Amino acid sequence: MEQAFWVQRPGSGQLREARLPTPGPDDVLVRTLCSGVSRGTETLVFRGGVPASQHDVMRAPFQEGEFPGPVKYGYLNVGVVERGPAHLEGKTVFCLYPHQTAYVVPATAVTPVPDAVPPGRAILAGTVETAVNAVWDARPRLGDRIAVIGAGMVGASVAKLLTGFPATRVQLVDVDPAKAAIAAALGVDFATPEQALGDCDLVVHASASEAGLARALELLAPEGEVVELSWYGDRRVRVPLGENFHSRRLVIRSSQVGTVARPDRDYAERLAVALELLADPAFEALVSGECAFKDLPSVLPRLAANELSALCLRVMYQPQ
């Protein structure tokens, strides 16, 4: 019998038995190798912080149950196809599936992981896909001065991707000086909010804090733009639109992975780009914690309470 992790109620999770359907001719049976806990979104779900108005919007592709619980939630899963179409059997694949030892999904729901990307790094595909979409939304230009505020999984990934644009000045900004080590591993300049360079053409905000958003606006040059990636859940956020916001003609716009930011690309193409980027071993810096699947019910409360500092928690599964 397979097992899956469920949030029983806010702040409490458990492993439940999971019965798998018989795969059809167009399905795959995947045995999970590892999955990832996206700290920001999944701890929000674990705490019961998804607003009622966003219950439908926040549903994961293969979620079971309803917010605030019981709910089976997650979307960073890498496994091996044990049964399915011939071109997929034996392949390592990524799927937007929750934390479960094995599962059956349509073959179209999995994406083969390139040979150059180890399974333990491929769990970041969903995060890097969000970063790819954010960069498409931000539309950086040659020579832009850029800050990325919030050195979490998504913010750090965005900063890593933006450093590839010629002649740009990119800083990753965070209140925690210890995040400088992650920035260094990614090859990105780091600054605390007080040290951050101003006169920015573009600021990507991913700290999910009022202070971070206020600092993002302060760092902008006239006509500059903030791309807001933060998800605040059920919290109300005050935006400082007084003083010189209007006279400097500043812009705040949202970016959300639910819509592909380029009309000439689809979801599969965007995910393929993310997996290709993960051939870069520098992204390993984002996986800063690991636990066994059986320990997830006791580890996730500690992650949600900030007792653990992992950006991405990698969950390892025992081979069957």
Q: How many CB atoms lie within 10 A of CB 266?
A: 11
Give the DSSP H or E segment for 185. helix 180-186
Give tens-digit pLDDT for 240-285: 898 889 999 999 999 988 899 999 999 999 999 999 999 999 999 9
Query: Domains of the chain: which residue ranges?
Result: 2-124+278-316, 131-254
Fold topology of 2-124+278-316: Quinone Oxidoreductase; Chain A, domain 1 (3.90.180)
Calpha distance 55→288 (Å, rounded): 29
CA–CA distance from 38 to each of 119, 208, 240, 248 (Å)? 16, 14, 29, 36
d(CA 97, CA 74): 6
Asked if residue 6 lies in contact with residue 12, where contact means CB atoms within 8 angstroms, the answer is no
**pLDDT one-digit tens code per residue, 166-181:** 889 999 999 999 999 9
Task: Write the DSSP string, 27-70.
Answer: EEEEEEEEEEEEHHHHHHHHHT---GGGTTTT--TT-EE-TTSS
| Cα distances (angstroms) measured from residue 261 to each of 174, 237, 270 | 26, 25, 10
Instruction: Say if residues 162 and 146 touch (Cβ distance below 8 Å).
Output: yes
Q: How many CB atoms lie within 10 A of CB 45?
A: 25
Q: What is the pLDDT of residues 282-311, one digit of tens each?
A: 999 999 889 999 999 999 999 998 888 778
Contact in structure between 98 and 4 (CB atoms under 8 Å)? yes
220-228/27-38 β-pairing = unpaired
CA gyration radius for the chain? 20
Number of Cβ atoms within 10 Å of the Cβ of 249: 12
| Lookup: tokens for 132 | 């790819």
Note the pLDDT tens digit of each residue in 32-43.
Answer: 999 999 887 899
Instruction: Name the DSSP letter for residue 114.
Output: P
Nearest to 43 by CA among 289, 285, 317: 289
This prediction has a pTM of 0.90
CATH topology of domain 131-254: Rossmann fold (3.40.50)
What end-to-end distance do the CA atoms of the chain give, in Å? Answer: 11
Condensed to tens digits (0 to 9), the pLDDT of residues 47-83 reads 998 888 889 988 999 999 999 999 999 999 999 999 9
